[in-house]
């Protein structure tokens, strides 16, 4: 408070300035308002979205587009796997039912 009184800066301005300055105590750096510290990675990430457990990385400004591509390709692969699985199941059911019908006719 004494420093504020000596320089002539009012306390309101100092409070606003403190809110605008975003200082990370763990990284010991000044960071933009859009930065958040990730506890899992122990780094500050700009426009932090979340920490991805599948990739082991933080999703933020630099890699959000790549993460969306990753998620889209995973979704496409999931649908492709379901299609192949159901197709194989359907083919095996047809084979099983045609073998059972042949056995009935031969008896």
**What residues are labeled active site?**
52
Nearest alpha-carbon partner for 47 in 29, 38, 4, 78: 38
Residue 26, helix vs strand vs coil: coil
The answer to whether 51 touches 38, Cβ cutoff 8 Å, is: yes
CA distance 77 to 5: 65
Strands (E) across 43-101 are located at 43-46, 50-52, 57-59
């Amino acid at each position: 408070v004494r420093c504020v009184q000596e320089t002539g800066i009012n306390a309101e301005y100092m409070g606003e300035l403190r809110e605008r300055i975003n200082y990370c105590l763990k990284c010991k750096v000044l960071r933009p308002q859009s930065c958040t510290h990730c506890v899992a990675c122990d780094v500050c990430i700009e426009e932090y979205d979340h920490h991805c457990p599948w990739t082991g990385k933080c999703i933020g400004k630099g890699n959000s587009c790549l993460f969306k591509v990753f998620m889209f390709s995973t979704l496409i692969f999931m649908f492709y796997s379901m299609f192949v699985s159901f197709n194989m199941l359907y083919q095996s059911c047809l084979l099983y039912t045609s073998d059972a019908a042949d056995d009935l006719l031969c008896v």
